[in-house]
Each structure stands twice: as C-alpha cells, then as structure tokens.
Amino acid sequence: MKEKVELTGIVLGSYPVKDYDKRVVLLTKERGKITAFANGARKMNSAFSGITEPFNYGKFSVYEGYDAYRFAGGEIKEYFQKVKNDIEGICYGSYFCEILEYLCVEGVGDADILNLLYMSLKALEKKIVPYNLIRRIYELKVLSLEGEMMSAFFCAKCGEEKVTSFVSSLNGLVCDDCKKYVSDSYSMSESAVYTIQYILSSPINKLYSFNIKEDVFAQLDHVIDIYFTEHIDKKFKSLEILSTLA
Ligand SMILES: [Zn+2]
C-alpha cells in the first residue's frame, strides 16, 4: 500500500462484497471517480458503515493501492438526510449517481461534475423546483459537461439565430426555414427554447433557480428525453424503481 490521500467527494454507490466489506464508488474533485474497498464496513458498529452511504458529501481518506484504493475513513459534511427520507428523492438522487458511475472515467478529476451533483442533491433536498424538472435540467447539463452539448443557440443546419424546433437527427434546434426540410422536427414555444438555452449557459449554482408552466415543461420533457436517450444507451435501475412508484 502506498500513502494515505485525502479527497473531497460524494459517495456515488456502495455495494456489498465478501461477508462484511463494501465496495465504495466515490466521485472526487481531485481524482474523478474512484473505487475503494471498505473492509468490515458491514459489521455491526463499524465506523465505516454510516460514512459510506450514497449521497454523503465530505472529505474521505483512502490508501492508494496497486490496482484499487482502500477506504480509511471520512468526515461527512452533508448527509442529504431529507433526500434519503423520501423514496422519490432516493430514486432521483440514485439516478443522478448512476449516470455518473456510468459516464465518468476512473481517475480523471472534474470539479464541475462534482459541483453539479452536489447542487442537484441540494435541489432535491430543498424541493422548491419539482423533481421531474430537476431531472431534466440535470440530464441536459450533465451531457453538456461531458462534451455532448445540444446545439441550441443557432440553427443546427444554417446558423440562423432564431431557433424554433428540435431535430433529434441534427442534435439540436433549427430555424423555421430549415425545419421544412427535415421530417423529424418538433416545434417548441419561445419559452421552451429559452429554458434550454438558460440551462446550457447558466453557471451550475444558478441552475435550479426557476420553475416553468406545465405546457413549457411538457415540451422540455419531450425534447430532453429524446436527446438524453439518444446519447446514453443504458437502462438505469433507479428509473425502473421510480416508474413503479407512480
Ligand atoms: Zn436554419
């Protein structure tokens, strides 16, 4: 084992291994996604059991090994207890974590992605913005941070500034003229277009600061759903559980 390192991050997931241990996946500011083994974390009274729960944010110490990290402890600053007390909150929070477990590369640090997850868990906790809107904002923003930014500020076909419709095959929005030449265009209101532009350009700490009318949400919901599933070809367990709750 090499030396002990201190990392700031969030627990994305923790999974039972062997009789008493846990495999903990952390998203850290310094090293991106890492996997650490917490020996004895499932034993009664283990100091590791509470701190290795998903959503926990804080400082974690790990020993760097040859092919994996060994968990050595942590100091939790936020447990997001209100999210954990609500089954829907748990589903959405787990979904956000699952996406990052799938998308993030081991060992590559990214402070923005960590900040996005932190602010999204905060938004779930505050409950000011509806859960389903938080979900769509998160999906669009996480893709843009991962290099799959929707083309939304000018027509994806001709470059014109006024965009009015979403075209999945063009990965973005197009103008009134160009929409005549594509078969899969979806017309959007000005508010829906503006909302998409706002999500893409807004700093992460201002993301969850608005609400929208039902008809605008319906358009956003439709467009981001198509865009996200086009880019992420994976079934997420937490979404399946969420769908059984309704
Ligand atoms: Zn155009």
Higher pLDDT pick, 68 / 244: 244
CATH 2.40.50.140, domain 4-79, yes or no:
yes
Question: How far does the centroid of ligand 1 lie from the alpha carbon of residue 217, in Å?
Answer: 24
Q: How many CB atoms lie within 10 A of CB 202?
A: 15
Mean pLDDT of 190-206: 98
Question: How far does the centroid of ligand 1 lie from the alpha carbon of residue 136, in Å?
Answer: 26
CATH 1.10.8, domain 119-245, yes or no:
no
Q: What pLDDT digit, counting tens, does each position of 92-141 carry?
A: 999 999 999 999 988 887 899 999 999 999 999 999 999 999 999 999 99
User: Over 70: is that where the pLDDT of 215 sits?
Assistant: yes
Question: How far does the centroid of ligand 1 lie from the alpha carbon of residue 197, in Å?
Answer: 17
Q: What pLDDT digit, counting tens, does each position of 32-61 carry?
A: 999 999 999 998 889 898 999 999 999 999
Q: What pLDDT digit, counting tens, does each position of 162-193 carry?
A: 999 999 999 999 999 999 999 999 999 999 99
Would 4-79 and 119-245 be classified into the same CATH topology?
A: no
Which residue blocks in the chain are alpha helix, DSSP H? Answer: 48-51, 81-84, 87-103, 111-126, 131-145, 176-179, 190-201, 214-231, 237-245
Question: How far does the centroid of ligand 1 lie from the alpha carbon of residue 218, in Å?
Answer: 24
Quote the tokens at residue 125: 């906790």
Domain ranges across the chain: 4-79, 119-245
In 3D, which of 157, 192, 189, 190 has the Cα closest to residue 171? Answer: 157
Q: What pLDDT digit, counting tens, does each position of 85-94 carry?
A: 999 999 999 9
What is the rounded CA–CA span in Å between residue 16 and residue 21?
A: 6
Question: How far does the centroid of ligand 1 lie from the alpha carbon of residue 138, in Å?
Answer: 27
